[in-house]
Structure 1
Amino acid sequence: MTKSSAPDELVRAVEVVGRGGRALSDDIAHEIAADRLAGHRSPIDDLGPRETEILRMLASGMAAEEIAGALCLSPKTVQNYHYQIKAKLEAKTDAHLVWMAVGSGLVSFS
């Protein structure tokens, strides 16, 4: 959701998230689609396989401890990957990471 999202869209998003779903505002979805159609290369393409896997799991809502258990890594290792991914992608927040993951098609919220 963005600051420009309509109030009714925000209410629907809260309801969807409250039921365990995921919400993506229309304006962000349109921007992502426009980037894809224009053939823009995603910065995510520069990540290694393990970094991509961890980003996908983070963007899907998994906690570092869950990812660590699933990949047989220590939580600290997952946190280090998380930090490295943010640095490589120049993402300031986790929300920005999720936005990038959705934009690249790494995760979907449909």
Structure 2
Amino acid sequence: MSNPLVHAFFVGRALAETLGEQLEHSLTNALSELGKFDAEQREHLRQFTEQVLERAQREEEIVMRARTTTAIVPQGSQPTDLQATIDELRAEIAQLRSELKTYRSSSV
């Protein structure tokens, strides 16, 4: 027969070793899952960033195409200063308002 103290010692030691192995296994799995999660999140962020940049580029191209196709510039002429163009447009608006006022007053 064996001594109960010696038996308890070996049972305790086996229990500690088994718990240590289980803890090591659980910790390894948790760190592995954390690494996978981190990699997936980085990939999602990269894809999201790519989508945003692609959309911004498409919209920029659309705006630039629309801007160049709707510009009122006679062929063969150089674009004028922006402030000068604004001033000319304001003058045209003032002239049209004046003509509209004259038309309204004559039709009453």
Question: TM over 0.5: same fold?
Answer: no
TM bin, normalised by shorter chain, reads under 0.3
Q: Flag the structure with higher helix content.
A: 2
Q: Rg: which structure is higher?
A: 2
Q: Which structure exhibits the higher relative contact order, with contacts defined as CA atoms closer than 8 Å and separated by 6 or more residues?
A: 1
TM-score, length of structure 2 as denominator length:
0.19
